[in-house]
Amino acid sequence: MEKISSMKVNILNKTLTELENGVLNLGQPKYRAEQVFKSIHKYSVSDFKGIKGIPENLKQILENHYYIDNLKLSDLKESPNDKTKKFLFELPSGNKIETVLIFEKERKTICVSTQAGCNVGCEFCATGKIGFRINLEASQIISQIYEVINITGIFPTNIVYMGMGEPFLNYENVIKSLLIITNKNGIGIPSGRITVSTVGFKDKLRKFTGDILKKENQSIKNIKLAFSLHSTDNGFREKLIPTSKKNPLKDIYKELSYFYSKTKNKVTYEYIFFEGLNDKKEDINRLTRLSKMIPCNINIIPFHKIGFKLNEPLEKFNSKESEKNIDGNKNSLSNKKLFEFIEELKSQKVVVNLRASSGVDIFAACGQLAAGRTDNIAR
């Protein structure tokens, strides 16, 4: 008689390798793990009784040791301007996270969260303003993707780990989630279509490089990296991103070079534009030199106002009067400085793009997640 486990675990947290070991420990053939994994992750089976091709006794064994738990949808907003969708999910702990579905030409990108809140505390980010709540389990990261697919019927072309939280401060669960979503027995997202964003931590980038290149991790070897730069001046960057005090740019640049030298995966630099603060001639010169260090592209991002008071010198950008609509008109006064900055970089042969501000009207754009929710307003 199979003994019922007193501590059931969410099977969605298990990679295929972990599930194979678990099935063997339960006295079952190893190949059964692949059948179970495929049913749950590829065919969205939400109950062990619904798994086809396995014996009834195995279904009961699974029921005794595991459970399947997806996220609970609390709210869904859609932008009337660009059809961006923002999903509010509730965790068993009562904390809430946001996930965004972005449409851009042929791309359908799901932006996932890795933490409820964040413990980095970036000055320009609403998530950082609410503080850290909890790290997400791997199951809660991947379930964001599964629920968006189930709710909308839309399968993503790309996944970005750029939602709430700092992925490298929930490292093990992020790696595990990447292994699960890239597995060909699951939804099989090609790793080259996945980007992980980070503010940068010494030694973590080097570890990430080594981990995605491990023989057993072949499915994630082409993961792309986005570095939240925002300033090439250490002093100003420390005001924007508190953790950069212990992670100076010279150290991070070395690790980014190491990442490219080993993986050959191009790096993206994320750069929020703050007129008069990070768009000076010396900023352009430093960005130009940086762009020559390794193959990369620089994404220029308009600042999006958030529902929290900011410290100077950023608060002036957060006022309603200074809100700017990046509408593509290079001659409009509100866009002139931004486009001049981009054109100057292009003249220096820098690969630079203006990142679309999708979902600004529903607080779903870069830096805005958690800003539109009264339950998360910092007190």
**Residue in 98, 123, 137, 166 annotated catalytic:** 98
Report the alpha-carbon distance of residue 79 to residue 355 in Å, rounded: 17
Residue 158: closest CA among 187, 114, 195: 195
**Residue in 111, 122, 296, 366 annotated catalytic:** 366
Report the alpha-carbon distance of residue 230 to residue 227 in Å, rounded: 9
Residues forming a β-bridge with 348: none
Residue 145: closest CA among 100, 105, 190: 100
CB 367 within 8 A of CB 272: yes
Q: Provide long-range contacts, Cβ within 8 A and 24+ apart, for 249-257.
A: 251/202, 252/200, 252/202, 252/205, 252/227, 253/290, 253/293, 255/200, 255/202, 255/203, 255/205, 255/206, 255/209, 256/205, 256/225, 256/227, 256/293, 256/294, 257/293, 257/294
φ/ψ of residue 147, rounded to 5 = -70, -40
Look up residue 166 and give its two tokens. Answer: 């700092």
Active site residue 118: no
CB 241 within 8 A of CB 168: no
Q: Is it true that the peptide bond before 313 is cis, omega within 30 degrees of 0?
A: yes
Report the alpha-carbon distance of residue 106 to residue 284 in Å, rounded: 32
Report the alpha-carbon distance of residue 321 to residue 329 in Å, rounded: 19
Active site residue 366: yes
> Which residues does the annotation mark as catalytic?
98, 366
